[in-house]
Chains A and B, each alone.
Chain A
C-alpha cells in the first residue's frame, strides 16, 4: 500500500515530517505493510499536512493532519478504510480545487515521487525532451513561438524570441540560466515546482540547451530555499546518472549539463543582469542594457535567462505542440498561469489555470475570501513592486495587459490578500523601506529616493498632509529615473495605496502606534 505525505517546505513547516515518521511507526505497530512516499504538495496549502492513501488506484485525502490525529488515521488505514474520519476529504482529484484547474506545468507536482526518474517518466516526463531532440533547434523555437509563451518572471518577454537570439548568436560557449531567485512575497510556485517535480525544470532547461546550442546551465536559487536547493541538486545527480544530462543527452548528439548556484540574500539579484553579475562572483549591481544578456550574458557570452515557470512550461509545449498551449488564455496572455493565492486568504495555495479569470473570482471564489472572515480591502499582485488593487477593480481579468490597465503588474502571479484592518500607509512605507534596503545602489532616485520616501511617509503619518504631493513627486522621479524595475516600480504600491485609499493617509495627526515606533 502506498501512502503519500508531502515533503514540500510548506507542508514541512506545518509538521509533515513528524506526521510521516509517526504514521510510519503507527502502521508498523499494526503490522500494515505500507510505503510512505514523500511527494510534493498538491498546492492546497490550507489542507497541509495532506496525507493521501492509495486504494485501487485512487488517492484518498486526509487533512490537515496533526500529529495527534496520526494514531486514529493509522487505525483506519489498518482496517482498509479510506474515509469515515473527521479529516476525510475523499478522492483528492475530485476536490473542486483540483478539478477546476488545468495543470500543465504542475501536472506531476504532488502526484509523483520527486526523486524518482522512473516515476517521472511513467507520468509523461521526458516526452518533451525526446521530441525536442527529434525535431531539432529551429522547430523547437517555432513551437515555443506558436505557444505564445511569455516570461513568467515578471517582464513578460516572448520566450521564443530570446531563444532565437541566443541560437543565432555566434560563440563557442552559450549558457542557459534559470532564474530561481523568487524573491516576491506572495510567490512560491518556483519553489513548489523545484521541490515537487525538479526533473521538469531540468528537462525544460535541457530543451532550451538543445534549442540554442547552449551546453552549460545554471539554476540560481535563493538561499532562503534550502529544500529546493537540495531537491534540485539531487535531481541533477539523478538526471546525470540517467543520461538526461551530460555529453550526450538521452543518447543524442546534443551535450548539456548544469549546476545549482545559491544566492546570498539580495532581492535585486532576481533582476537578470544583477543575477548574472552575482553568478560571476561580483556584487549584484544591475547592468545597463544594451548589451542584452542574450548576446552578452554570463561571462560576456550569449545567455538565455528564464524564470523557472517559463522553462517549466516548455516540456509540455514541446510534447503537445505550441498550438495546444497557445489555444488557452486571453489576448496576448497565452497558456496557463500558476496563480499563487497567499496572505490573508481562506484557501491559500497554487492554482494553475488558463489566463483570463477575473481577479475577484480568484480571490473570492477560489480563495474563499479572507482567512479572518473580514471583508477584503485590497490585494497586491506581483510582489513588492506590484500595485495594491482595491475590490472595485476586481473585475479585471488575470493577464499581462489586462492587469496593466489597472496600473497592476502580473509579476510572478502571486496574490497577497489583505482584510479591512490593513493600514495602507504602513504598507506604502514598507514598499519604500524594502526598496531602500534592497537597492543595488546604482541610481540616485532608487537609492536616495526610497529613503526620502520613508521619511516623507513618516511625516504624513504624523499628520503632515501637505507632504502628500511631495510623495507623489518623489514617486514620479523614481518611476522615470531608475534603471531597473526595483526603483522604477516601487512607486506603484505606494501610488496605488494613495490613490485608492486616501483616507489612510489623511488625518493621521494622532500618531498610530506603528508610526510612533
Chain B
C-alpha cells in the first residue's frame, strides 16, 4: 500500500513524535502509541525510521509492533466496537450478545461493516465485570450491554 501521506511531511511528524519522547527511558511503546494516535495505525514506513532513531534493528522494531495486540498494521474503520469476551461477561451471556451483534452488523471479529464505518474487535475484560456484559464503542463504555444498547450507540456513530 502506498503511503497516503507526503514523505517529507510524514517524516517531519514522525521526528516530532520521536523528539517528544526523547527524555523517556525505554521509549518505544510510548512512541508507538503516539504514532498510532497520529495515523490510526503503525505505518510500515515508520519502522525503519524508529529503528535508526532508537539504535535498534528493523527486525527488533517489527518484533515489538507485532507482539502487541493493540498495534495495527493498517487503518481501522473510523469507529471501533469492542465486545468483551472474558469469563465474567460470558457468565452474563456475552457469547450470545456477540452472536447477535455479529449478525446485526453482518460481520465477524476483526471485520469492518459494509459501509466501512465500524470495525468489530474482541477484548478481554474492560474492568466492568460487575455490570456485564461489557462493550466499548470508541471512547464510550457500555455496561449491562444488550443488542438494543449496542445498536443504539452504533447507529449514533454511523449516522
Q: Are B70 and A384 in contact (CB under 8 A)?
A: no
B127 within 8 A of A: yes
B123 within 8 A of A: yes
* Residue from the list A12, A279, A283 in contact with B26, Cβ < 8 A: A279
Contact pattern, B 37-68, Cβ under 8 Å of A = 1, otherwise 0? 00000000000000000100000100110011
8 shortest interchain CB distances as A-B pairs: A281-B28, A348-B130, A13-B143, A185-B86, A264-B68, A342-B129, A265-B69, A45-B130
* Residue from the list A350, A417, A434 in contact with B91, Cβ < 8 A: A417
Can you list 24 A-B contacts (CB < 8 A)?
A10-B128, A13-B126, A13-B128, A182-B127, A184-B125, A185-B86, A185-B88, A188-B127, A223-B70, A224-B126, A226-B139, A265-B68, A265-B70, A266-B69, A279-B29, A281-B29, A298-B26, A340-B130, A342-B88, A348-B130, A384-B86, A384-B87, A416-B91, A419-B91
Q: Are A264 and B33 in contact (CB under 8 A)?
A: yes
A183 within 8 A of B: yes
Q: Are B128 and A188 in contact (CB under 8 A)?
A: yes
Which single residue of chain B is at the shortest CB-CB distance from A220?
B29
The CA-CA distance from A341 to B129 in the complex, in Å, is 8
The CA-CA distance from A345 to B144 in the complex, in Å, is 12
Residues of A366-382 contacting chain B, CB below 8 A = 371, 380
* Residue from the list B69, B89, B91, B127 in contact with A187, Cβ < 8 A: B127
The CA-CA distance from A427 to B94 in the complex, in Å, is 12
A212 within 8 A of B: no
Which single residue of chain A is at the shortest CB-CB distance from B32?
A264
**In the assembled complex, which residues on chain B have CB atoms less than 8 Å from the CB atom of A265?**
68-70
Total contacting residues, chain B, CB less than 8 A: 42
Q: Are A262 and B29 in contact (CB under 8 A)?
A: yes
The CA-CA distance from A48 to B87 in the complex, in Å, is 22
Q: Are A281 and B54 in contact (CB under 8 A)?
A: yes
Contact pattern, A 342-355, Cβ under 8 Å of B = 1, otherwise 0? 11110011100000
Which single residue of chain B is at the shortest CB-CB distance from A438?
B124
Residues of B124-142 contacting chain A, CB below 8 A = 124-132, 134, 139, 141-142
Q: Are B88 and A283 in contact (CB under 8 A)?
A: no
Residues of B67-123 contacting chain A, CB below 8 A = 67-71, 86-92, 95, 123
Residues of B12-42 contacting chain A, CB below 8 A = 24-30, 32-33
Size category, A interface = 35 or more
**In the assembled complex, which residues on chain A have CB atoms less than 8 Å from the CB atom of B29?**
261-264, 278-279, 281
Q: Are B25 and A299 in contact (CB under 8 A)?
A: yes
Please report whether the interface of chain B is mostly helix, strand, loop or mixed according to DSSP: loop
A148 within 8 A of B: no
**In the assembled complex, which residues on chain B have CB atoms less than 8 Å from the CB atom of A223?**
33, 70
Q: Are A10 and B130 in contact (CB under 8 A)?
A: yes
Which single residue of chain A is at the shortest CB-CB distance from B129?
A342
Residues of A45-84 contacting chain B, CB below 8 A = 45-46, 48
**In the assembled complex, which residues on chain B have CB atoms less than 8 Å from the CB atom of A505?**
none
A126 within 8 A of B: no
Q: Are A266 and B67 in contact (CB under 8 A)?
A: yes
A418 within 8 A of B: yes
Q: Are A183 and B63 in contact (CB under 8 A)?
A: no
Q: Are B91 and A344 in contact (CB under 8 A)?
A: yes
The CA-CA distance from A191 to B143 in the complex, in Å, is 15
Given contacts A371-B92, A419-B91, A185 and B129 within 8 Å (CB-CB)? yes
**In the assembled complex, which residues on chain B have CB atoms less than 8 Å from the CB atom of A185?**
86-89, 124-125, 129
The CA-CA distance from A342 to B143 in the complex, in Å, is 13
Contact pattern, A 208-224, Cβ under 8 Å of B = 1, otherwise 0? 00000000000000011
**In the assembled complex, which residues on chain B have CB atoms less than 8 Å from the CB atom of A298?**
25-26
Q: Are B131 and A14 in contact (CB under 8 A)?
A: yes
Residue of B30, B86, B87, B131 ringed by the most chain A CB atoms within 10 A: B87
